[in-house]
A and B are shown apart, each in its own frame.
Chain A
Protein backbone atom coordinates (compact mmCIF):
# COMPACT_ATOMS: atom_id res chain seq x y z
CA UNK A 1 0.00 0.00 0.00
CA UNK A 2 1.47 3.32 -1.10
CA UNK A 3 0.58 6.63 0.50
CA UNK A 4 0.82 10.06 -1.09
CA UNK A 5 0.41 13.38 0.71
CA UNK A 6 -0.45 16.81 -0.60
CA UNK A 7 0.84 19.35 -0.51
CA UNK A 8 4.45 18.38 0.18
CA UNK A 9 4.85 21.71 1.94
CA UNK A 10 2.79 24.76 2.76
CA UNK A 11 3.23 28.15 4.32
CA UNK A 12 0.58 29.43 6.70
CA UNK A 13 -0.02 32.13 9.29
CA UNK A 14 -0.97 31.87 12.93
CA UNK A 15 -4.72 31.36 13.15
CA UNK A 16 -5.07 29.87 9.67
CA UNK A 17 -7.08 26.75 8.99
CA UNK A 18 -4.75 24.15 7.50
CA UNK A 19 -5.74 20.98 5.65
CA UNK A 20 -3.39 18.18 4.60
CA UNK A 21 -4.49 15.30 2.39
CA UNK A 22 -3.31 11.69 2.38
CA UNK A 23 -4.30 9.24 -0.35
CA UNK A 24 -3.83 5.46 -0.22
CA UNK A 25 -3.18 3.35 -3.31
CA UNK A 26 -5.94 0.98 -2.24
CA UNK A 27 -8.77 1.09 0.25
CA UNK A 28 -7.72 0.91 3.89
CA UNK A 29 -11.08 1.54 5.55
CA UNK A 30 -10.30 3.83 8.52
CA UNK A 31 -6.90 2.31 9.28
CA UNK A 32 -4.93 5.54 9.16
CA UNK A 33 -2.91 7.54 11.67
CA UNK A 34 -1.37 11.01 11.62
CA UNK A 35 1.88 12.08 13.28
CA UNK A 36 3.58 15.39 13.97
CA UNK A 37 7.37 15.67 13.94
CA UNK A 38 9.28 18.76 14.99
CA UNK A 39 12.97 19.22 14.12
CA UNK A 40 15.23 17.15 16.34
CA UNK A 41 12.32 15.29 17.93
CA UNK A 42 10.68 11.90 17.56
CA UNK A 43 7.31 11.74 15.84
CA UNK A 44 4.19 12.15 17.98
CA UNK A 45 0.91 10.35 17.37
CA UNK A 46 -1.95 12.82 16.80
CA UNK A 47 -4.82 10.89 15.24
CA UNK A 48 -5.60 7.19 14.89
CA UNK A 49 -8.42 5.28 13.22
CA UNK A 50 -8.61 8.22 10.79
CA UNK A 51 -10.53 10.49 13.15
CA UNK A 52 -9.82 9.57 16.79
CA UNK A 53 -7.79 12.09 18.75
CA UNK A 54 -4.88 10.63 20.72
CA UNK A 55 -4.97 11.44 24.43
CA UNK A 56 -3.46 14.82 25.22
CA UNK A 57 -3.61 16.17 21.68
CA UNK A 58 -5.32 19.59 21.35
CA UNK A 59 -8.81 19.58 19.89
CA UNK A 60 -7.80 21.95 17.08
CA UNK A 61 -6.45 18.83 15.37
CA UNK A 62 -8.99 16.64 13.59
CA UNK A 63 -8.96 13.87 11.05
CA UNK A 64 -11.49 12.56 8.57
CA UNK A 65 -11.88 10.18 5.68
CA UNK A 66 -12.09 6.50 4.90
CA UNK A 67 -11.23 4.18 2.05
CA UNK A 68 -8.51 5.93 0.07
CA UNK A 69 -8.84 9.63 0.90
CA UNK A 70 -8.07 11.22 4.26
CA UNK A 71 -7.51 14.68 5.66
CA UNK A 72 -5.83 16.20 8.69
CA UNK A 73 -7.15 19.62 9.67
CA UNK A 74 -5.70 22.14 12.07
CA UNK A 75 -8.55 24.53 12.79
CA UNK A 76 -6.46 27.46 13.99
CA UNK A 77 -2.71 27.14 13.50
CA UNK A 78 -0.62 27.85 16.58
CA UNK A 79 3.13 28.63 16.80
CA UNK A 80 3.88 25.16 18.16
CA UNK A 81 2.17 23.50 15.17
CA UNK A 82 4.92 24.34 12.69
CA UNK A 83 6.27 20.89 11.95
CA UNK A 84 6.17 18.06 9.46
CA UNK A 85 3.08 15.85 9.38
CA UNK A 86 3.02 12.22 8.28
CA UNK A 87 0.16 9.86 7.60
CA UNK A 88 0.57 6.13 8.22
CA UNK A 89 -1.56 3.24 7.02
CA UNK A 90 -2.52 0.72 9.68
CA UNK A 91 -4.11 -1.79 7.34
CA UNK A 92 -1.12 -3.91 6.31
CA UNK A 93 -0.59 -5.67 9.67
CA UNK A 94 1.94 -5.59 11.23
CA UNK A 95 4.04 -3.37 8.93
CA UNK A 96 2.60 0.12 8.81
CA UNK A 97 4.08 2.34 6.10
CA UNK A 98 4.26 6.12 6.20
CA UNK A 99 3.41 8.82 3.71
CA UNK A 100 6.18 11.14 2.48
CA UNK A 101 5.28 13.99 4.83
CA UNK A 102 3.96 17.56 4.61
CA UNK A 103 6.04 20.39 6.02
CA UNK A 104 4.10 23.28 7.53
CA UNK A 105 6.11 26.46 7.96
CA UNK A 106 5.52 30.10 8.75
CA UNK A 107 4.33 32.42 6.00
Chain B
Protein backbone atom coordinates (compact mmCIF):
# COMPACT_ATOMS: atom_id res chain seq x y z
CA UNK B 1 0.00 0.00 0.00
CA UNK B 2 1.36 3.38 -1.02
CA UNK B 3 1.83 5.76 1.92
CA UNK B 4 3.28 9.21 2.37
CA UNK B 5 3.84 9.87 6.07
CA UNK B 6 4.53 13.46 6.96
CA UNK B 7 6.19 14.86 10.07
CA UNK B 8 4.11 16.48 12.80
CA UNK B 9 2.86 20.02 13.30
CA UNK B 10 5.41 22.72 13.99
CA UNK B 11 5.20 26.03 15.88
CA UNK B 12 8.10 28.37 15.17
CA UNK B 13 9.12 31.98 15.62
CA UNK B 14 9.94 34.33 12.74
CA UNK B 15 13.55 33.97 11.65
CA UNK B 16 13.84 30.35 12.78
CA UNK B 17 14.74 27.50 10.45
CA UNK B 18 12.66 24.41 9.79
CA UNK B 19 12.83 21.15 7.86
CA UNK B 20 9.73 19.00 7.47
CA UNK B 21 9.68 15.50 6.03
CA UNK B 22 7.64 13.12 3.92
CA UNK B 23 8.49 9.42 4.19
CA UNK B 24 7.34 7.24 1.32
CA UNK B 25 6.41 3.58 1.55
CA UNK B 26 4.82 0.87 -0.55
CA UNK B 27 6.44 1.82 -3.86
CA UNK B 28 9.83 2.50 -5.47
CA UNK B 29 10.62 5.98 -4.13
CA UNK B 30 13.23 6.81 -6.77
CA UNK B 31 10.84 6.32 -9.72
CA UNK B 32 8.31 9.03 -8.94
CA UNK B 33 8.37 12.81 -8.69
CA UNK B 34 7.36 14.16 -5.27
CA UNK B 35 5.64 17.55 -5.08
CA UNK B 36 5.23 19.92 -2.16
CA UNK B 37 1.94 21.82 -2.05
CA UNK B 38 1.05 24.75 0.21
CA UNK B 39 -2.39 25.62 1.52
CA UNK B 40 -2.60 28.85 3.45
CA UNK B 41 -5.46 29.25 5.93
CA UNK B 42 -8.77 29.25 4.07
CA UNK B 43 -7.03 29.37 0.68
CA UNK B 44 -6.34 27.13 -2.30
CA UNK B 45 -3.54 24.82 -3.35
CA UNK B 46 -0.16 26.06 -4.56
CA UNK B 47 2.66 23.90 -5.85
CA UNK B 48 5.99 24.99 -4.33
CA UNK B 49 8.16 22.63 -6.31
CA UNK B 50 8.99 19.05 -7.18
CA UNK B 51 11.89 16.65 -6.86
CA UNK B 52 12.83 13.44 -8.68
CA UNK B 53 14.59 11.40 -6.01
CA UNK B 54 16.58 9.21 -8.39
CA UNK B 55 18.81 12.06 -9.57
CA UNK B 56 17.67 14.85 -7.21
CA UNK B 57 16.45 16.98 -10.13
CA UNK B 58 14.43 19.77 -8.54
CA UNK B 59 12.10 22.38 -10.01
CA UNK B 60 10.62 25.31 -8.10
CA UNK B 61 7.59 27.43 -8.91
CA UNK B 62 8.78 30.99 -9.60
CA UNK B 63 7.03 32.34 -6.48
CA UNK B 64 8.96 29.98 -4.23
CA UNK B 65 12.41 29.93 -5.85
CA UNK B 66 14.94 30.96 -3.22
CA UNK B 67 12.34 30.84 -0.44
CA UNK B 68 12.46 27.11 0.28
CA UNK B 69 14.71 24.14 -0.41
CA UNK B 70 13.42 20.74 -1.51
CA UNK B 71 15.62 17.69 -1.06
CA UNK B 72 15.42 13.93 -0.78
CA UNK B 73 17.30 11.06 0.83
CA UNK B 74 16.98 7.93 -1.29
CA UNK B 75 18.43 5.70 1.44
CA UNK B 76 15.42 6.34 3.68
CA UNK B 77 12.80 7.13 0.99
CA UNK B 78 12.18 10.57 2.44
CA UNK B 79 11.62 13.97 0.86
CA UNK B 80 12.14 17.25 2.70
CA UNK B 81 10.99 20.86 2.58
CA UNK B 82 13.21 23.37 4.33
CA UNK B 83 13.23 27.04 5.30
CA UNK B 84 16.27 29.03 6.48
CA UNK B 85 14.35 31.93 7.95
CA UNK B 86 10.62 31.58 8.50
CA UNK B 87 8.13 34.44 8.17
CA UNK B 88 4.66 34.74 9.60
CA UNK B 89 3.36 34.45 6.04
CA UNK B 90 4.77 30.89 5.90
CA UNK B 91 1.95 29.77 8.20
CA UNK B 92 0.13 27.07 6.24
CA UNK B 93 -0.46 23.37 5.78
CA UNK B 94 2.16 21.73 3.59
CA UNK B 95 1.34 18.54 1.71
CA UNK B 96 3.63 16.18 -0.10
CA UNK B 97 2.16 14.31 -3.04
CA UNK B 98 3.33 11.69 -5.51
CA UNK B 99 3.09 12.43 -9.21
CA UNK B 100 1.70 9.39 -11.00
CA UNK B 101 4.01 7.63 -13.46
CA UNK B 102 1.89 8.45 -16.48
CA UNK B 103 1.77 12.12 -15.53
CA UNK B 104 -1.90 11.85 -14.60
CA UNK B 105 -1.79 14.16 -11.61
CA UNK B 106 -0.89 13.58 -8.00
CA UNK B 107 -2.31 10.19 -7.09
CA UNK B 108 -1.21 9.86 -3.44
CA UNK B 109 -0.98 12.58 -0.80
CA UNK B 110 0.38 12.87 2.71
CA UNK B 111 -1.95 14.08 5.46
CA UNK B 112 -0.19 17.43 5.60
CA UNK B 113 2.07 19.22 8.09
CA UNK B 114 0.69 22.30 9.83
CA UNK B 115 3.37 24.98 10.18
CA UNK B 116 2.58 27.97 12.38
CA UNK B 117 4.99 30.90 12.53
CA UNK B 118 4.23 33.40 15.26
CA UNK B 119 6.15 35.60 17.64
Contacts and interface: CB of A to CB of B under 8 A. Distances in A.
Contacts, number: 69
A31 B100 CA distance: 13
A96 B32 CA distance: 15
Interface residues of B, number: 26
Interface residues of A, number: 24
A37 B37 CA distance: 13
A83 to B, nearest CB: 13
A54 B44 contact: no
Interface SS of chain A: helix, strand, loop or mixed?
loop
Contact of B112 (A42, A45, A95): A42
B47 A98 contact: yes
Contacts of B106: 33, 35, 43, 45, 88, 96
B109 A97 contact: no
Interface string A36-61: 01000011110011001010000000
Contacts of B37: 43
Contact of A43 (B49, B60, B95): B95
B46 interface: yes
Interface of B: 33, 35, 37, 44-47, 49-50, 52, 59-61, 95, 97, 99-100, 103-107, 109-112
Interface of A: 31, 33, 35, 37, 42-45, 48-49, 52, 54, 86, 88, 90, 93-101
Closest 5 CB pairs of A and B: A48-B104, A33-B105, A42-B109, A98-B45, A101-B44
